[in-house]
Amino acid sequence: MGKIILASQSPRRRQLLEQMGVTDFVICPAKGEEDMGAQLPPDRLSEALALAKAREVAAQAGPEDIMIAADTIVTLDHQVLGKPHSREEAVSMLETLSGRHHVVYTGLAVLRGGETVSDHEATEVRFRPLSREEIAAYVATGEPMDKAGAYGIQGRGALLVEGIVGDYFNVMGLPVCKLGQILNRFGVKTL
């Protein structure tokens, strides 16, 4: 077996992969631009974005190397909320999510040579009603700026979340149960 390569620079994904028992891997983030304009439903869009990352990194890898890529998107009323480009955009996203349910999709892609497996996970998240002061205080922490939907459930953003239905780790950016099953198909034992 070749190397295991995580096509992400996310410290959360690295931590979750290690938590799964996969500790011998290389980090090689994809550099391509994410095309959020594709006319795909959110589940397929998350998979397509993950697959694009995996293929980009695989182009520089050996035939026995295993590529792992993921892409997380947040949707509200079928509208994709990406990463905010400014504090104002983060405030706007959080105001929109306040007191409402939204869905977090993470697409997964695992490749080795000509073998490709892609899938996705969906988790419903419910925010409690947020005051303008709470939103401003959270945005001031800087935490929302590199996260889809302008929050991180694993950080102070947990204070905004009233409940979830589905995989908590999916909201963090890596559905570990689903990824573990896929990796087992590639001969990577996680248990």
CATH number at residue 65: 3.90.950.10
The pLDDT value recorded for residue 67 is 96
- Rounded to a whole number of angstroms, the distance between the first and last alpha carbons of the chain is 18
pTM of the full structure: 0.92
Token reading at 171: 């909201």
pLDDT recorded at residue 92: 97
Q: Has residue 11 been placed in a domain?
A: yes
Specify the pLDDT at position 33.
64
Alpha-carbon span 99 to 73, nearest angstrom: 19
For residue 51, being part of any structural domain is answered with yes
Residue 47 in any domain: the answer is: yes
Please report the DSSP string for the chain in residue order.
---EEE----HHHHHHHHHTT--S-EE----SPP-TT----HHHHHHHHHHHHHHHHHTTS-TT-EEEEEEEEEEETTEEE---SSHHHHHHHHHHHTT-EEEEEEEEEEEETTEEEEEEEEEEEEEPP--HHHHHHHHHTSGGGGSGGG--TTTGGGGGEEEEES-HHHHHT--HHHHHHHHHHTT----
Q: Is 71 a catalytic residue?
A: yes
Phi, psi of 173 (to 5 degrees): 120, 5
Domain membership flag for residue 191: no
| Residue 55 is assigned to a structural domain of this protein | yes
List the domain range (segments joined by +) for residue 181.
4-185
**Token output for 5:** 């390569």
Confirm whether 168 is domain-assigned. yes
The active-site residue, picked from 43, 71, 119, 167, is: 71
Contacts (Cβ under 8 Å, ≥6 apart) of 39: none
For position 36, what pLDDT does the model report?
Answer: 60
Residue 67 lies in a domain: yes
Q: How confident is the model at residue 114 (pLDDT cuts 50, 70, 90)?
A: confident
Residue 112 within a domain: yes
Domain count across the chain:
1
Tell me phi and psi for residue 8, to 5 degrees: -160, 145
Tokens of 130: 């947020």
What is the per-residue pLDDT for 39?
Answer: 82
- The larger pLDDT score, comparing residue 61 to residue 168, is at 168
Average pLDDT of the segment spanning 3-8 = 95
